[in-house]
Amino acid sequence: MTARRHRLAGHGLERGPEVTVVVDGRPRTAYLGESVAAALMADDDDLEVRTTSGGAPRGLFCGMGACFDCLVVVDGIPGTRACVAWVRDGMVVDRQQGRGIPYRPTGRRSGASTGDDS
């Protein structure tokens, strides 16, 4: 699987300059002009960006900054909406647990929402 797998090429779209972001401790290629969510989606089939305080998985839902399901820790700042934060070179992104503890998922999770929205 490559970082370019889910990104459009051509179709009248121009990609910004390549940058490196660190996601869960690993460097990844991203492009200026794309959101943190896009950078995460480009390289991950199981887009779990956070867990609630009760441990329920959350991913992208609205993709436009309204639902707050995509909260991640960016450069140490928890509660950053991945869908409306733009990548920059050297940015450090960690998935978020509860109200702001970064965590590194160890494997694929299953299960649906428990209704815990925290």
Return residues touching ligand FES (CB under 6 A). 60-63, 65-70, 81, 83
Residue 19 or 60 with smaller CB distance to ligand FES: 60
Cα–Cα dist 72/34, whole Å: 16
3-state secondary structure of 87: coil
What's the closest the beta carbon of residue 24 comes to ligand FES, in angstroms?
18
Q: What are the residues whose beta carbons fall under 8 Å from the beta carbon of 81, sequence distance 6 or more?
A: 65, 68, 70, 71
Residue 27 or 65 with smaller CB distance to ligand FES: 65
Residue 19 or 49 with smaller CB distance to ligand FES: 49
Residue 65 or 90 with smaller CB distance to ligand FES: 65
Q: Do 103 and 33 form a contact (C-beta atoms < 8 A)? A: no
Exposure string over 65-83, b if 16+ CB within 10 A, otherwise e: eeeebbbbbbeeebebbbb
What's the closest the beta carbon of residue 50 comes to ligand FES, in angstroms?
10
What's the closest the beta carbon of residue 65 comes to ligand FES, in angstroms?
5
What's the closest the beta carbon of residue 59 comes to ligand FES, in angstroms?
8
